[in-house]
Structure formats: C-alpha cells, structure tokens
A and B are shown apart, each in its own frame.
Chain A
Amino acid sequence: EAGVAQSPRYKIIEKRQSVAFWCNPISGHATLYWYQQILGQGPKLLIQFQNNGVVDDSQLPKDRFSAERLKGVDSTLKIQPAKLEDSAVYLCASSLVSGDSDTFGSGTRLTVV
C-alpha cells in the first residue's frame, strides 16, 4: 500500500512569512495527525483529526497555526506568521483507527530565518 505522502520535503522562509504543508494519508485511514518534532525532542502532537473532525488540538498554537482536513482525506497545516522557534520537522501520520499505531510520512523540514 502507498504510504503517507507529504510535501514539500524542505522549506526555508523568513520570519513573519507564511507557509503551508500538505499531507495525504494512507487510503482508508480515518485518523490523521500532525506532529512537530524539534531537533533532539520527540514528536509533539499538534492536532488530531478523526475523518474531517478535530479530536484534539490542545497543543496547536491557534494564534498562528491552522489545519484543516477537507472531505476527511487530505490535510493542510498552515503557519502564519512564522517565528524562529517554529523551525522543526513537521510530521504527518495516519492510523486506521484512533489508538492504533501511527504510520508517518517523510516529514517537512522547516527552517525559519
């Protein structure tokens, strides 16, 4: 089966600019996650979708981050405006059902300068 697709792989932006990431989960996976992984740390859950509804976004900085999952399939994560501390790898993952193990995409490495 095809894996979780993410794009772009790398992005360099200046602070205060905006950026968007795209994710296409494994076909049939109802649950989709966005994680932020800062160098040397474990992934931190930003938002969890069940189909096209938000299950948990308690750690999403809502003043600058937004995410949507239209039609319960693809998802986009946006940062506007970006800050230096947003430099990290943004990982998208999906699972068949909530509570199952996550399958991760290759991630997007964001550098904010």
Chain B
Amino acid sequence: QKEVEQNSGPLSVPEGAIASLNCTYSDRGSQSFFWYRQYSGKSPELIMSIYSNGDKEDGRFTAQLNKASQYVSLLIRDSQPSDSATYLCATSEGGFKTIFGAGTRLFVKA
C-alpha cells in the first residue's frame, strides 16, 4: 500500500516565523511531488511542485526534496495569519495514482 505520511499537527507558529512542514512517502517510483494548501471548507490549491532533488523557491515558499530519504518538506518564511490552513503533500508516479497525505494543520498566531 503506497502511502504519504504527514504530521497532522496542529503546528502553531508566531507571525513572521518560519513554518516547516514535512512529508514522507513510501513509493520509490514517485516522480512528481506537490504541496497544496486547503482552507477550511475550500478545495485544495497548488502551492508548489517539485520534481528533482534539492530546493525550489517561490516567493516565501521553499520546497525541498530528498528522494534517497523519501522526504519532502515545505518551508514558509515570514508566516502570516493568512497562511493558516491545512497543507497537503501529494506524490504521483508517472502521471498515475496521485496519492495525498492527510495534511498538516498550520496556525499562524498574530
């Protein structure tokens, strides 16, 4: 059974701090990795995608991928109260079988 594991949280950080979200996956064939943000009562929306080992930065967000350790992370710099949401990690193998983790709830305190 292919799985994506995330700490359910909640992760609470003060405004302006760095939030670090982590994800591990079991399928070594995974090729695509995604972070989605989901506000309460809303649908997931894509934050970052990453396909190769290393870091990928987009504004305040940095995704990190380590395929050897089967580990993906998302860093949110200068966290804002509007970042409070559930963050979903997802993996995909060759365009098939997208698997989502259960998500980590993040609270950013003003």
The answer to whether A104 and B100 have CB atoms under 8 Å apart is no
The answer to whether B88 and A104 have CB atoms under 8 Å apart is no
Does B46 have its Cβ within 8 Å of any Cβ on chain A?
Answer: yes
User: Which of A41, A98, A105 contacts B43 (CB under 8 A)?
Assistant: A105
How far apart sit A46 and B44, CA to CA, in the bound complex (Å)? 16
* CB nearest to B99 among chain A residues: A45
Query: At the interface, is chain B mostly helix, strand, loop or mixed?
Result: strand
Contacts A101-B34, A101-B49, A104-B43 given; does A43 touch B100 at CB 8 Å: yes
The answer to whether A99 and B94 have CB atoms under 8 Å apart is yes
Q: What is the minimal beta-carbon distance from A10 to any residue of chain B, in angstroms?
A: 11
Which residues in chain B, 30-51, are within 8 Å of chain A measured between CB atoms?
A: 31-32, 34, 42-46, 49
The answer to whether B95 and A98 have CB atoms under 8 Å apart is yes
Q: What is the minimal beta-carbon distance from B65 to any residue of chain A, in angstroms?
A: 15
Report chain A residues within 8 Å CB of B102. Answer: 40-42
Interface size on A, residues (CB 8 A): 25
Report chain B residues within 8 Å CB of A45. Answer: 97-99
Contacts A43-B100, A45-B99 given; does A91 touch B31 at CB 8 Å: no
Does A103 have its Cβ within 8 Å of any Cβ on chain B?
Answer: yes
The answer to whether A42 and B96 have CB atoms under 8 Å apart is no
How far apart sit A97 and B95, CA to CA, in the bound complex (Å)? 8
Report chain A residues within 8 Å CB of B42. Answer: 106
The answer to whether A42 and B46 have CB atoms under 8 Å apart is no
A-B contact pairs, 17 of them (CB 8 A): A40-B102, A41-B102, A42-B88, A42-B100, A42-B102, A42-B103, A43-B44, A44-B100, A45-B97, A48-B98, A56-B97, A98-B95, A99-B92, A101-B46, A102-B46, A104-B45, A106-B42
